[in-house]
C-alpha cells in the first residue's frame, strides 16, 4: 500500500490525483446512485427529451398542428436538446433499456463534473498557493454531496463548470481579448443551461468594473455572451416558435406570475443550507472566509453575492437553487479561511480546533458513501422498471386517492412507453376509473394498478376491488434509505411505498 501511494503521488500531479480520485468516486455513483433527485431533474429533462427521441411530445412543449393553443412553457431547450440527441443515438445503436440509458447519462455527467475539480483547483492557484488549491480540490472532490450531485440532471449544478471556466479565463495573468471572448462564450453556455446564472454574469460584470477592466474587453465579453445566447435561445426558439427568446420570456413571465406558488418563502433558507451542507463548524468558517476575502476575490464574491441576494429576495425558494454557487463559495471561503487562520492562529484553542477537524472529517466520510450510493425516488423508478419487464403491460392505473385531485406522477421513461396515465383520486373515483376502463380499446386496457402510499391502503384496495373484482396483489416496492431520511427531515418530500396489483 505504501509503495502504491508513493508511486501514485510521484507519477501524478496533485490536480491529476484529485481528478482520478474524483472520477473513481463518481463512478460509484454512476453505478449505484440510480433514480432522480427532484422533480425537475427527471421530468423536465429526461422525460421530455426521450419522448422526443421516440417521436412523442410527452409534456406537450412543442408546437402542434393539432393543438394551435400551445405556447412556450419557459424551458431552455439547449440542455434538453443535448439529451434528445444522446437518446436518439442510443436508440440508433439499439440501447433501449431505460436503466442502462441512465447509466450512460450519469457517466457523461460524472465526466462533466470533473471540470469542477479541475477549475476550482486552477482558480485557487491563481489567488493563493498550491496548499490552498489542494484543500479546495479535496473539498469539491470529497464533500459528501458532490458525487451524488455530479451524476444528476440538475441544471443548477450542470451549469457550474462553464461558470468556473469563465472566471478562470478572466483571472489569467495575461490579459488579452481572447480570454474575455472565451469567458463570454462560457457564460453564454451557462445561461443557456440555467437562465438564473444571469445574476452570476451580472456579478462578474460588476467585479470587472471594480477591477477597472478596459472598455474594449468588456464589450468583447458582452458580445461573445450574447452571440451564444442569440444562437441557443434566439435562433432555436425562432425555428420552433417563430419568435426569438420565446422560452426565456415565458420563463420570466411564469416566475413573476407564480412567485409565491412553489417552494418556501423563508428568507434565511439558503443560509441554513450553506451552514448545513458544508458541515459546521467548517461551514461557518468558510462563510466567514467568503466575506473576509471579498476584496481579493471580487470575481467570485460579487457573482455569489448577486445570486444569493436575488434568491433571498425572491419568494420562490427551493433547496436545489443553492447548488449553483456552493463550489464558488468553497473556493473563496477556503482562501479566506487560510487568511483568517494566519491572522488569528495564536488565539485559536488547539483542542477545539482538533476536535472540530475530527468531527467534520468523520461526519463527511460517514455521509459520503451513504449518499454516493443512494437510490433516490426508488419506489417510483422501480415500480416503472417492474412494469417495464412485464411484457403483458400496455397500460396501467395509478391509485392515489389520499390526494384530492392530483396524483404522484409515474416516471414513464422507466416504463418505456408514452401513455396517458389515469389516476384515481378523491375526485376521480374508482367508479370514474371503471367508466374510463370500459371505454378503452381491449389492447389499451390497463393490466396493472399501482397504489402509492400505505395510508388507508386496505380501504382503498377494497374500494377498487368492488369495481374490479379480479384485482390481485403482485409486489411491494419500498422507498430507499435516502427517501426515508428526506421524508423524516421534511414531510413535504414524497416517501411513498408502491403496491403493485394486477388485473
- Judge if 155 and 267 occupy the same domain: yes
Are residue 224 and residue 321 in the same domain, yes or no?
A: yes
Q: What's residue 495's pLDDT?
A: 63
Alpha-helical regions (H) of 375-480: 378-389, 430-439, 457-467
End-to-end CA distance of the chain: 58
Based on the domain organization, do 359 and 385 belong to the same domain? Answer: no
Cβ neighbours around 289 below 10 Å, total: 24
Contact 380, 408 (CB under 8 A): yes
Q: Which domain holds residue 423?
A: 378-502
Rg over CA atoms, the chain: 25
Looking at residue 257, its pLDDT comes to 84
The total domain count for the chain is 2
Angle value at C-alpha 236, between 235 and 242, nearest 5 degrees? 80
Asked whether residue 347 is domain-assigned, the answer is: yes
Q: Are residues 102 and 211 in the same domain?
A: yes
pLDDT along the chain (503 residues), means of 10: 71 92 97 94 96 92 84 93 97 96 98 98 96 97 97 97 97 91 97 96 96 92 97 93 93 85 77 94 96 95 96 89 96 96 89 94 96 94 95 91 89 94 93 93 92 91 94 94 76 76 94
> For 378-437, how does the pLDDT look when each residue is reduced to its tens digit (9 = 90+)?
999 999 999 999 988 889 999 999 888 889 999 999 999 999 999 999 999 999 999 999
CB 265 within 8 A of CB 317: yes
Query: 195 CB contacts (<8 Å, ≥6 apart)?
Result: 76, 248, 251
Same domain for 408 and 260: no
Both 103 and 156 in a single domain? yes
Domain annotation covers residue 301: yes
Are residues 64 and 104 located together in one domain of the fold?
Answer: yes
In a domain, 9, yes or no: no
Is 447 found in the same domain as 326?
Answer: no
Whether 1 is covered by a domain: the verdict is no
Same domain for 169 and 250? yes
CA distances from residue 55 to 62, 217, 418, 494 in whole angstroms, order as listed:
12, 45, 10, 31
Verify that 403 and 349 share a domain, yes or no.
no
Q: How far apart are CA 143 and CA 412, in angstroms?
A: 32
2 assigned to some structural domain: no
Is 368 domain-assigned? yes
74 part of a folded domain: yes
Residue 391 is predicted with a pLDDT of 86
Q: 57 in a domain, yes or no?
A: yes
pTM: 0.94
Last residue of some domain: 347, 372, 397?
Answer: 372
Q: Which helix (H) or strand (E) holds 108?
A: helix 98-127
183 shares a domain with 228:
yes
Q: Which of 357, 372, 387 is the last residue of a domain?
A: 372
User: Which among 346, 372, 398 is the end of a domain?
Assistant: 372
Regarding whether 337 and 453 lie in a shared domain, the answer is no
Beta-bridge partners for 253: none
Amino acid at each position: 500500500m505504501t509503495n502504491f501511494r508513493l508511486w501514485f503521488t510521484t507519477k501524478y500531479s496533485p490536480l491529476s490525483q484529485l481528478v482520478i480520485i474524483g472520477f473513481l468516486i463518481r463512478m460509484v455513483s454512476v453505478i449505484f446512485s440510480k433514480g432522480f433527485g427532484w422533480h425537475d431533474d427527471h421530468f423536465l429533462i429526461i422525460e421530455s427529451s426521450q419522448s422526443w427521441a421516440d417521436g412523442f411530445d410527452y409534456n406537450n412543449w412543442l408546437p402542434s398542428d393539432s393543438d394551435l393553443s400551445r405556447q412556450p412553457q419557459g424551458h431552455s431547450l439547449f440542455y434538453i436538446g443535448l439529451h434528445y440527441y444522446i437518446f436518439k443515438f442510443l436508440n440508433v445503436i439499439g440501447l433501449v433499456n431505460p436503466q442502462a440509458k441512465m447509466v450512460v447519462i450519469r457517466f457523461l455527467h460524472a465526466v462533466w463534473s470533473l471540470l469542477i475539480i479541475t477549475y476550482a483547483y486552477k482558480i485557487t492557484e491563481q489567488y493563493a498557493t498550491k496548499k490552498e488549491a489542494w484543500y479546495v480540490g479535496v473539498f469539491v472532490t470529497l464533500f459528501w454531496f458532490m458525487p451524488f450531485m455530479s451524476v444528476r440532471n440538475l441544471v443548477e449544478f450542470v451549469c457550474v463548470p462553464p461558470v468556473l471556466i469563465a472566471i478562470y479565463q478572466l483571472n489569467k495573468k495575461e490579459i488579452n481579448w481572447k480570454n474575455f471572448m472565451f469567458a463570454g462564450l462560457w457564460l453564454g453556455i451557462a445561461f443557456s443551461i440555467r437562465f438564473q446564472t444571469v445574476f452570476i454574469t451580472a456579478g462578474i460584470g460588476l467585479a470587472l468594473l471594480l477591477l477597472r477592466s478596459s472598455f474594449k474587453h468588456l464589450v468583447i465579453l458582452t458580445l461573445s455572451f450574447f452571440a451564444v445566447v442569440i444562437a441557443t435561445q434566439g435562433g432555436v426558439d425562432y425555428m420552433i416558435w417563430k419568435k426569438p427568446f420565446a422560452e426565456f420570456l415565458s420563463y420570466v413571465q411564469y416566475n413573476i406570475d407564480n412567485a409565491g406558488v412553489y417552494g418556501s418563502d423563508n428568507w434565511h433558507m439558503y443560509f441554513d443550507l450553506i451552514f448545513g451542507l458544508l458541515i459546521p463548524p467548517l461551514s461557518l468558517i468558510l462563510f466567514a472566509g467568503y466575506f473576509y476575502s471579498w476584496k481579493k476575490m471580487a470575481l467570485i464574491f460579487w457573482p455569489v453575492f448577486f445570486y444569493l441576494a436575488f434568491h433571498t429576495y425572491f419568494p420562490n425558494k427551493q433547496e436545489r437553487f443553492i447548488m449553483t454557487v456552493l463550489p464558488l463559495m468553497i473556493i473563496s471561503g477556503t482562501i479566506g479561511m487560510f487568511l483568517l487562520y494566519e491572522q488569528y492562529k495564536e488565539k485559536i484553542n488547539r483542542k477545539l480546533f482538533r476536535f472540530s477537524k475530527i468531527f467534520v472529517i468523520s461526519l463527511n466520510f460517514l455521509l459520503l458513501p451513504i449518499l454516493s450510493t443512494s437510490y433516490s425516488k426508488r419506489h417510483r423508478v422501480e415500480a416503472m422498471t417492474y412494469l417495464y419487464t412485464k411484457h403483458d403491460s400496455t397500460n396501467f392505473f395509478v391509485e392515489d386517492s389520499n390526494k384530492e385531485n392530483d396524483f404522484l406522477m409515474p416516471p414513464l421513461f422507466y416504463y418505456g412507453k408514452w401513455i396517458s396515465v389515469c389516476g384515481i383520486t378523491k375526485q376521480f373515483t374508482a367508479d370514474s376509473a371503471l367508466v374510463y376502463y370500459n371505454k378503452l380499446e381491449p389492447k389499451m386496457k390497463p393490466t396493472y394498478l399501482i397504489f402509492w402510499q400505505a395510508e388507508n391502503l386496505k380501504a382503498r384496495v377494497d374500494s377498487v376491488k368492488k369495481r374490479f373484482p379480479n384485482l390481485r396483489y403482485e409486489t411491494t416496492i419500498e422507498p430507499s434509505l435516502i427517501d426515508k431520511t428526506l421524508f423524516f427531515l421534511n414531510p413535504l418530500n414524497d416517501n411513498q411505498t408502491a403496491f403493485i396489483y394486477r388485473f
